Amino acid sequence: MGLTSHKLLALVALLAVLTVLGTLRVWPRLAVRSWPAMFLRLGTIAVTQLALLALLGLAVNDYFVFYSSWSDLLGHEHGTGVIHTTGGGVGAGPVGVQVLGRADITGAGAVNRDPARIGRLEQVRLPGSTTGLSSDGYVYLPPQYFQPGGGARHFPAAMVLTGFPGDATNLVTKLRYPATELDLLRTGAMKPTVLVLMRPSPTMPRDSECEDIPNGPQAQRYFTTDVPADLRASYRVLDGTGSLGIVGDSTGGYCAVKLGMEHPETFSVAVSLSGYFKAAEDATTGDLFGGSAQRRAEADLDWRQAHLPMPPLAVLLAGSKQDGSTYADASAFAAAARPPLVVVQETVDTGGHNFTTWDRLIPPALGWFSAHLRDPA
């Protein structure tokens, strides 16, 4: 059974109920003064607590989908969603995407259907020629990429980042970015766009917060230099201003706005779904700034607004009004924006910091995002 299987959750829930009832039933028989009875009492408590903790952990993971599979939980490489291997990659030379296989776009067995109708989703590895970093993810090519007469047509692209430590698979199965783009293309609400779907950290299990760490991994350069170079070396992706934007949720949302503000020449538009505005610092990040107070300040997006020139960037902050301080922080950031930085907000009245909320926000967010990218050429 998969880690996110509802059958597994139901089975563990049943076991938890049975252990509680069993403990209540046998406890009176163990209420005697003896070493065996004492160890048996401890054993029943331990089993009951483990069952309840397992149920709680599975329920929380099912709701937030922190980990999408057992191998993801254990930190192993995996190929979730790959159906069959393609013959060779599409890139050449020192940079380029390594195609690992194809995956289902819609969840309805769409792997082998005509790509000129539904597009193609490829599982890929994106190597960093300047940083030495590498990350696995997915690339979605829209139907127009394969339609007759479009062999010389180039397309804008969107880098889409998960939260930490999320898996790129969640962007396909839970947040449905490829399927959502396909729906929007059919209604004319979005222009054809190449999507590259990734984790926000190429340094797993360390959370890099999309930072160039002194004497450490250069995660920011990986996303702003290596990944765009990989895409353009391997696919027909437009170059120049307005050709590439970035979208993310939670940590990915912070990265989207941060990378856009620091590198508007690379990303002309950014969408943050419940993202925060200051780099996290905890056991998963370690020292991101080499002890530099200036670098730490520059990673604070509110500080950048107050002390540095505004970048030529369009930003959409999307989230729920019930998502803790995130909504208030986003409103304050939007109010402080000055041209050429343009910040708008998209909100829903209810919902938390989770996939259910973001799934409601993504369709209009992608439509807005697409309107700020160059038209396919």
Positive or negative, the Cα torsion across 24, 28, 33, 37?
A: negative
Q: What are the two backbone dihedrals, phi and then psi, of residue 54, each rounded to the nearest 5 degrees?
A: -65, -40
- CA separation for the pair 58, 264 (Å, rounded): 40
Q: How many CB atoms within 10 Å of residue 344?
A: 12
> Does domain 80-371 match CATH 3.30.70.100?
no
Outline where DSSP puts E strands in the chain: 98-103, 120-127, 134-141, 157-161, 194-198, 244-249, 269-273, 314-320, 342-348
Residue by residue, pLDDT tens for the chain (377 residues) are 666 677 888 888 888 899 888 888 888 887 778 888 788 888 888 988 898 888 888 777 665 444 445 654 554 433 222 211 222 233 333 467 878 778 777 655 556 678 999 999 999 999 999 999 999 999 999 999 999 987 889 999 999 999 999 999 999 999 999 999 999 999 999 999 999 999 999 999 999 999 999 999 999 999 999 999 999 999 999 999 999 999 999 999 999 999 999 999 999 999 999 999 999 999 999 999 999 999 999 999 999 999 999 999 999 999 998 887 889 999 999 999 999 999 999 998 888 888 888 999 999 999 999 999 998 87
**What is residue 110's predicted lDDT score, i.e. its pLDDT?**
56
**What is residue 70's predicted lDDT score, i.e. its pLDDT?**
64
Which residues, 6 or more positions from 125, have their beta carbon under 8 angstroms from its beta carbon?
97, 98, 100, 134, 135, 136, 137
Pairing of strands 194-198, 98-103: unpaired
In the numeric block, which tokens belong to residue 201?
Answer: 């950290």
**What is residue 352's predicted lDDT score, i.e. its pLDDT?**
84
**Residues 181, 142 contacting (CB under 8 angstroms):** yes
Concatenating the DSSP letter of every residue in 215-278 gives: TS-BHHHIIIIIHHHHHHHHS-B--STTSEEEEEETHHHHHHHHHHHH-TTT-SEEEEES--SB
Amino acid at 156: P
Domain ranges of the chain: 6-64, 80-371
Nearest Cα residue to 228 out of 272, 274, 259, 257: 259
In this prediction the pTM is: 0.77
**What is residue 63's predicted lDDT score, i.e. its pLDDT?**
55
Peptide bond into 364 cis (omega under 30): no
Tell me how far CA of residue 68 lies from CA of 94, 158, 200, in angstroms: 32, 23, 16
Outline where DSSP puts E strands in 109-204: 120-127, 134-141, 157-161, 194-198
**What is residue 71's predicted lDDT score, i.e. its pLDDT?**
56
| DSSP, res 315 | E
